[in-house]
Amino acid sequence: MNSPDVDTAFAGTIPQLYERYLVPLIFEPYAADLAARVTHFQPSHVLEIAAGTGVVTRQLAKILPPEVSIIATDLNQPMLDQAVAVGTSRAVEWRQADAMQLPFSDGVFDMVVCQFGVMFFPDKAKAFSEARRVLRPGGRFICSVWDRIDQNEFADLVTDSLKTLFPNDPPQFLARIPHGYHDPAVIAQDLAHAGFTASPELETRSARSRADSSHIPALAYCQGTPLRIEIEARGASRLTEATDIAANTIRNRFGTGPVDGKIQAWIISIKH
């Protein structure tokens, strides 16, 4: 029932729901940190891959000097359209591009950035090799990936809740893709296979995921990610029911009113 095309399909109303609910829930706490790491290296030409709706792009545009060029790419044009609609504080070049076949010449960037996109690449080593190819010697690749799903409370609860609704074939998108690429040894091996010769710097970073109610994380995950496609494939009318069950599960754990759950990720940095 699942395919790579489904796992990377961010279309329809998903980009809007992703930006409205998922970005403040789990991506904003890491975007400022990642942008600050980029700034530390004082780049002049920055490429962002798998930019999504632009949460990191906006941070980069805000804190990098205006003479620094920023090109932000994503496989899904609807996500870029949403990013453009939100806007940035200064000019950014948006381009639709496949991270495994970047439309840029060799050695044109001194920084390549990717927040929570690597997990979606069908061939991680190929995408890493493309990042290395477009980097200048001495340039740097910085990316982040989610840690295990059991270290990310809302995603874990949503996944578990759907087992009660679909006991014979529970949707596993969150565990399989966003939280399916977290082994430091595998990441280091893929970087080496991509041609990086330096040792990667890997750091775990925990943060808090906060929302005004349990319904928000349920809506964010069930309707603002490709998990929605898995749910609707099991019954077009089941999406609201799945969202409500997820919200109830989160409410049972965290209570009524505002909710506050742990999120955890790996930050990876490697020099060309």
Q: Report the candidate in 244, 239, 147 with the shortest Cα–Cα distance to residue 187.
A: 147
Q: Both tokens of residue 77?
A: 């044009």
Provide the β-strand partners of residue 111: 46, 140
Q: What is the pTM of this model?
A: 0.94
pLDDT value at 1 more than 90: no
SS (H, E, C) 70-109: EEEEECCHHHHHHHHHHCCCCCCEEEECECCECCCCCCCE
- Domains, the chain, in order of start with CATH, read 4-271 (3.40.50.150)
pLDDT band at 10 (very low <50, low <70, confident <90, very high): confident
Provide the β-strand partners of residue 94: 72
pLDDT band at 6 (very low <50, low <70, confident <90, very high): low
CA distance 84 to 104: 21
What's the pLDDT tens digit per position in 65-75? 999 999 999 99
121 Cβ neighbours under 8 A, 6+ residues apart: 50, 99, 100, 127
CA distance 270 to 62: 24
pLDDT at 87: 96
- 112 to each of 122, 150, 219, how far by Cα in Å? 19, 29, 31
- DSSP reduced 3-state for 212: coil
CB 106 within 8 A of CB 47: no
By mean pLDDT, which of 6-20, 57-71, 83-97, 137-151 is the weakest? 6-20
pLDDT band at 12 (very low <50, low <70, confident <90, very high): confident
Q: Both tokens of residue 140?
A: 């740097």
Mean pLDDT of the chain: 95
pLDDT band at 14 (very low <50, low <70, confident <90, very high): confident
Q: Both tokens of residue 271?
A: 């020099």
